[in-house]
Amino acid sequence: MHCPYCRGTDTRVLDSRVADDGGSIRRRRTCSSCAKRFTTIEQMQLTVLKRSGATEPFTREKAVAGVRKACKGRPVSEDDLACLGQAVEDALRLSGAAEIPAHEVGLAILGPLRALDEVAYLRFASVYRAFQSADDFAAEIAALRADRVVPEPAPQPTG
């Protein structure tokens, strides 16, 4: 670690603390050369393995950008999208893998999006799963309906 003040390479960790609900580590450091103190934040780098074989760092905003298109014209706020992005990133980090296939990122998006907005979910799923016909939509709609919890009817008064 280079000191941000003198660029010295001999630094010592004074204190380490977990930050961001375990997603990163905050370290307080001191430089042996200039004696100044500074803070670093370490975070596990998630990498996405694309179909082409190339890798790139995971960015929450890129994941949310695709979902934003599916949500166009729907009653979904930017806060909702931010929460969805956080849920997707958390799910990917919980997998414990540092390199995640792009397909897994899409799967991580589908669950929270389905709970957020069914129409946006169908739009996203139609592209992600490459629907070929109306039958593909019908099958997905049938699956959505089957998974819904049907409330029990209220008892009718007798008398």
What was the pLDDT predicted at 115? 92
Closest CA to 87 of 70, 112, 106: 112
pTM, two decimals, is 0.66
Rounded to whole angstroms, what are the CA distances from 107 to 22, 81, 94, 152? 23, 16, 14, 31
Cβ neighbours of 24 (radius 10 Å): 15
Q: What are the per-10-residue average pLDDT scores of the chain (159 residues)?
A: 93 90 85 96 88 92 92 93 92 86 91 93 89 90 81 64
CA distance 50 to 107: 14
The encoded tokens of residue 111 equal 């669950």
